[in-house]
Amino acid sequence: MLCQLNLVVSTSKGIEMRWTKLFAMVVLLLGSCCLGQTSPNAATEKSTSPAPTFSIEVAPPVGPIRLGVPLNVIVTVTNISDKDIYWVADFGKDTIYKAFAFLLVKDGREVETTFFHRKITGRTRADDPLEVEHSNLMPFPHPPGKMFTMTIDLTRLYKITEPGLYTLDVSRIDDDSKTTVRSKTLTLKVVP
């Protein structure tokens, strides 16, 4: 009787192993058929993200940058697509500053921000005064080519209190490609 029981167990294990092997072979065959049916365009489209529709360039001020005076950098935005692009912008007093994200770094850390910078970026501190913000949002079309050039005073955004080397990055989200467009990093040398 003991021999019969062992025979039944080994037979059921053998059947179970055959089903497992058969199932694995079916999965492998179907999987290779499915991969063979994928069109090359579908695979390519998923691996590449859409190209940005604009570029950002930043230029330093002319001459030496002195501590304690406005630090004006020039930001140029160009529509690099072949179609009109629409930007939703706040057409208020500080539109230029609100349209982009600015990051000024010295010695590997962001420079202390001003109240104005914290207000426009939504990063206010508990000790900052409360202000009511008014805005007038409108889409504005820009044809291919140069869109605009603007001057940004970094001392409105950051407390630049000591000489040295600073790096500036400017960026903005591209609504069309859903990517962040960044300028090349600009190095600024501030002297006393």
Give 85-137 pLDDT, tens digit per residue.
887 666 566 777 888 999 999 999 999 988 777 777 776 666 656 665 555 56
Residues 64 and 95 in one domain: yes
Does residue 27 sit in the same domain as residue 104? no
17 and 88 belong to one structural domain: no
Q: Which residues contact 186 (CB under 8 A, 6 or more apart)?
A: 58, 59, 60, 73, 167, 168, 169
Question: 33 and 58, same structural domain?
Answer: no
Query: For the chain, what is the domain count?
Result: 2
What is the domain extent for residue 29? 2-47
pTM of the entire predicted model: 0.66
